[in-house]
Every structure is written in structure tokens, then in C-alpha cells.
């Protein structure tokens, strides 16, 4: 198997033993990018020289006898709404097409300090507004499992890069499912940590009360390693939690005997595809066979989550995106008659249609005469959704649901139907409204495409979710499968012999 198909902890063993250098690992990933990036289009920017320089520094550190951390020399991708000093951060938007930040996000500094090597900035839906990675100024990203389908969004580039072997791990941001849904579509692990667990300093804001940075990895072990590097209090982020950060690798035990799991019936209603339902139910049965207690439960206000989210998130976006006015930085339209005309032309030309749609929705919800009827009411319903989860966690250690109601859909299939697109996040949005941690792990295949299982925990229970995900992973082989775009003849044989939901 290629170096590009290994996990971070597998590569660490090769690197620390001298069997493979960081430079060899970096060059293998650059070769993979050169071979398939035209089909996948996971990146906005590839930082070839930075990657090779960082890899050379990692090799020098190992040769000099320095302590080598588990992420040292490991190629990583960063979603293009997380700022990187000296490297363009565009948010996949024309309005920031040439923006080069003067500083790093906290998570980027922490990964650099852990030895991570930047491959590039991953494509995304513009300003993280989308569920398919089609709303990008630089064109859509394609799913490595089937390049005629979407990778999910908004962090589609990050998920596709990890799935296709163009990076070992990646960072994304999750406002309503933008890590977990693409993780499900691309067959990788995706974690949305508790709100405040990971610093948002340097994350370009979409909806400030919902946004959270998290990792994409190939397995649960790598997820724990990346969380160890990026979690922790940051005084530069006023929403950063001071909760102590455990060593998440200590949660990687396969024993889940006695754990109490709730299965919310609202997540299994109309709209869930038959193939996804079967794969998720098979995973739930497996968890029960491994000793977990499984019981159906109810989160009655789930039905209001989608409409609540699409009032709160656009309202916050309309405020956050007001700074892009063509005056201070970013794109400025030419040929304007006066200041007001310049402002209008800049925002119309600089923002894509989905971003403009959400700004208008949010501005309307906040406007005089409608604030109480829409935004204030949405905040009240959000409180009820939070209480539903609190009540559930009085009884259960975690909740188990589908990550998405379907597998990845075709490119262009929902582009002209925003409501249908929004429904892609129906299983993930409630988690963001409540600020909870949630993990997506592959639990099967349908139509040859990955299916994600979502594990939801109470605040700061990332370790519980990793334990459940790890146990499931140890009893299945889904995390070892690779997309047909990259798999070898050996993997071809394995895929042909294994049924979609084999465990």
C-alpha cells in the first residue's frame, strides 16, 4: 500500500524507526496530488515548497535525536477559512481571492508546534455556507469514491483530501454539520468537538455561536492524536473553554460493555434512505452485541431544528459578513458611481448566490418588526432543543443516529433547490444548536458509497465518543477501505469480496 494510504500513527512508526523519511512521505503525497487532483479538486492552494521545507526540518530533528511527536512530519490540509500566515485564505470566495493573512489561527500554530506539515488549503463552500462543496468560487470538489458525486460540505475539500490520500489528516469547521456530513459522504472520521473545546481564533466567522473547528482523519486513533494537539483553552478566544483536556488516546479501548446508548426516533423518520437505515441499524446492533445497552428515546423538538438554524445562522452571518464592504480589504468592484454604488456592486460581485441568499435571510430576520417574530423565537426554540439533549443525557452516555439521511448525491442534483440541499444537514444541525460534541464514523456502504454513523455526547464527552467509535472500528473493516480512485489491485480484490455492510 502507498504511503498516501496509511494513517498518521502508521506513518509515525515508519518515520520514527527510519523506514521512511518525512521527505519521502511528503513527496508521495505531492505525487498523489499531481496524479488525481484534477479529478478531485480538493485544494484551493497547494503549498509544495512549505511542505518540503517542513518535512526536511522533521527529518533533521529525527536525525539529531530530538523527541518525535506522533504528528511530526505528517502532511495535513487546512480548510481555507482558517487563517495561515503568508498563505492565501480565501474562504472560497471572490471577495477574499487574494487575501494573505499576517498571522496564524491558534489551531494552525498548535499543529505546527506538534510537527504537522502543511500540504495546502482545502476547498469549501463559500464562507462555509453549503452542504455539497459546489458553492465555491474556484469550482466544486468531487467525491473520490465517485467523482460524479459531491463530497459534502462545507468542508468538502478537507474530507476529500483525506479520503483520496492527498493529506493524512485535515482540519475543517462545523457550523451545522460541515465536518460530519462530508466525513460521512467521503468515508472518513469527522469530529465536531464541544463548542469552546477548540479555539476559534483565526477561524473566519460564519455564525459565531455555532462555528467549531475539528479534524478529519482516516481512523479514530488519528482523531484522538489531532484532538490532543488542537484542544485547550486560548485566551485570545473569549468563547474558549477552560475545561481540562485529557489525553484522548486513553479513550481508545474496545470495551463498551455497560455503556448506555439512546436511539432518538426522530432521526429515523421519513427522508432517511433505506440503505442508510440498514447500515446504521446494523451498526447499532453490533454495539449492542458488544455489551452496550441500547434503548429508543425521543428528542421532541428536533423537528424545529432546521428552521431554527436557518434563522440563527443567517442572522449571525449577516452581521459577520458586513465587514466585507470593499473599503478595508478584499475585492472592490470597479466603475461605481459613488460610495453606495461601490458597496452594492462589491458585495453583489464578490459574494456568490448562496452567500447573498443567507445574508438577505439573516438581515430580514433581524430587521425591525420581524426580530421578535423570527430571531427571538428561534433563540427560544434553541433553548428547548438544548433541554431535550440534557434530558436524554440524564439517562444515556451517548446518542446514536445517522450522520446524513442519504449517501453522497450527484453533482448538480440539488444545486437549484436550496431547501433540498438544507435537508442534507437535518441530522447534524441540532448538535450545533446545543454546542455538543459529535463524531461521524463509517458504518457501512450503500450504492458503493460510504454511510456515516453519528455518535453524540454531552458537553466535553469527546473521550466517550472516541471509545465508542474505536470499539466499532475494531469490529469492522470500513476504515481500511480506500476509494477506487486510489486503491491498489489488492484493495480491488478485497472490495469485490466484501459485501456493503460486512462487519
What are the catalytic residues? 79, 154, 178
- Cβ-count burial 325-344 (b if 16+ within 10 Å, e if not): bbeeebbbbeeeeeeeebbe
H helices present in 93-206, as ranges? 106-113, 156-163, 180-186
> Looking at the DSSP assignment, which residues form a beta bridge with residue 278?
none
Between helices 22-40 and 48-63, what is the axis angle to 10°? 160
The Cα–Cα gap between 181 and 61 comes to: 37
| Residue 500: burial class (beta carbons within 10 Å; 0-12, 13-18, 19+) | middle
Q: List for the chain the helix, strand, coil content (%; round to 5).
A: 45, 15, 40
Of the chain, the end-to-end C-alpha distance in Å amounts to 22
In 3D space, the residue among 137, 201, 204, 189 whose CA is nearest the CA of residue 159 turns out to be 189
In 3D space, the residue among 429, 450, 477 whose CA is nearest the CA of residue 150 turns out to be 450
Report whether 124 contacts 203 (CB < 8 A): no
Report whether 133 contacts 122 (CB < 8 A): no
In 3D space, the residue among 143, 147, 146, 145 whose CA is nearest the CA of residue 156 turns out to be 143
Phi, psi of 263 (to 5 degrees): -120, 100
C-alpha cell at 77: 490540509
In 3D space, the residue among 465, 428, 479 whose CA is nearest the CA of residue 180 turns out to be 428
- Cβ-count burial 240-269 (b if 16+ within 10 Å, e if not): bbeeebeebbebbeeebeebebbbbebbbe
The Cα–Cα gap between 81 and 135 comes to: 14
Amino acid at each position: 500500500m502507498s504511503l498516501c494510504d496509511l494513517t498518521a500513527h502508521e506513518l509515525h512508526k515508519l518515520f520514527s524507526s527510519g523506514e521512511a523519511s518525512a521527505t519521502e512521505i511528503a513527496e508521495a503525497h505531492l505525487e498523489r496530488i499531481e496524479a488525481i487532483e484534477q479529478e478531485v479538486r480538493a485544494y484551493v492552494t497547494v503549498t509544495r515548497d512549505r511542505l518540503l521545507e517542513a518535512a526536511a526540518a522533521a527529518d533533521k530533528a529525527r536525525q539529531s535525536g530530538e523527541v518525535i511527536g506522533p504528528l511530526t512530519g505528517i502532511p495535513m490540509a487546512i480548510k481555507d477559512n482558517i487563517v495561515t500566515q503568508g498563505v492565501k485564505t480565501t474562504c472560497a470566495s471572490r471577495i477574499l481571492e487574494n487575501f494573505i493573512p499576517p498571522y496564524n489561527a491558534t489551531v494552525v500554530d498548535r499543529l505546527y508546534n506538534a510537527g504537522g506539515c502543511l500540504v495546502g488549503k482545502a476547498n469549501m463552500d463559500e464562507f462555509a455556507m453549503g452542504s455539497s462543496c459546489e458553492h465555491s468560487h474556484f469550482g466544486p470538489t468531487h467525491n473520490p469514491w465517485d467523482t460524479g458525486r459531491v463530497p459534502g460540505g462545507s468542508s468538502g475539500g478537507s474530507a476529500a483530501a483525506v479520503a483520496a490520500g492527498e493529506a493524512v489528516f485535515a482540519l475543517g469547521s462545523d457550523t451545522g454539520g460541515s465536518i460530519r456530513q462530508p466525513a460521512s459522504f467521503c468515508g472518513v472520521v469527522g469530529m465536531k468537538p464541544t463548542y469552546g473545546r477548540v479555539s476559534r481564533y483565526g477561524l473566519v466567522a460564519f455564525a459565531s455561536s455555532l462555528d467549531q473547528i475539528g479534524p478529519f482523519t482516516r481512523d479514530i486513533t488519528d482523531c484522538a492524536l489531532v484532538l490532543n494537539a488542537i484542544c485547550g483553552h486560548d485566551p485570545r478566544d473569549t468563547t474558549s473553554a477552560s475545561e481540562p483536556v485529557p489525553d484522548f488516546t486513553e479513550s481508545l479501548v474496545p470495551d463498551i460493555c455497560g455503556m448506555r446508548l439512546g436511539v432518538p426516533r426522530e432521526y429515523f423518520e421519513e427522508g432517511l434512505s433505506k440503505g442508510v437505515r440498514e447500515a446504521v441499524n446494523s451498526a447499532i446492533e453490533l454495539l449492542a452485541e458488544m455489551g452496550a445497552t441500547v434503548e429508543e428515546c425521543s428528542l421532541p423538538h428536533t423537528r424545529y431544528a432546521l428552521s431554527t438554524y436557518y434563522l440563527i445562522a443567517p442572522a449571525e452571518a449577516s452581521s459577520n459578513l458586513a465587514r466585507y464592504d470593499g473599503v478595508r480589504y478584499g475585492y472592490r468592484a470597479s466603475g461605481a458611481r459613488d460610495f453606495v454604488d461601490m458597496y452594492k456592486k462589491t458585495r453583489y460581485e464578490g459574494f456568490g448566490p448562496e452567500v447573498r441568499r443567507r445574508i438577505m435571510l439573516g438581515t430580514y430576520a433581524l430587521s425591525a418588526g420581524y426580530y421578535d417574530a423570527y430571531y427571538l423565537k428561534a433563540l427560544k426554540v434553541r433553548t428547548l432543543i438544548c433541554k431535550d439533549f440534557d434530558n436524554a443525557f440524564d439517562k444515556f452516555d451517548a446518542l446514536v443516529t445517522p450522520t446524513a439521511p442519504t449517501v453522497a448525491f450527484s453533482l448538480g442534483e440539488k444545486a437549484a433547490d436550496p431547501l433540498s440541499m438544507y435537508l442534507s444537514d437535518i441530522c447534524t444541525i441540532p448538535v450545533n444548536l446545543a454546542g455538543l460534541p459529535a463524531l461521524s464514523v463509517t458504518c457501512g456502504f450503500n450504492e458503493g458509497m460510504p454511510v456515516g454513523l453519528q455518535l453524540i455526547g454531552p458537553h466535553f464527552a469527546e473521550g466517550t465518543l472516541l471509545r465508542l467509535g474505536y470499539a466499532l472500528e475494531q469490529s469492522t473493516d470500513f476504515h481500511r477501505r480506500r476509494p477506487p480512485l486510489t486503491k491498489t489491485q489488492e484493495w480491488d480484490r478485497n472490495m469485490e469480496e466484501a459485501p456493503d455492510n460486512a462487519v
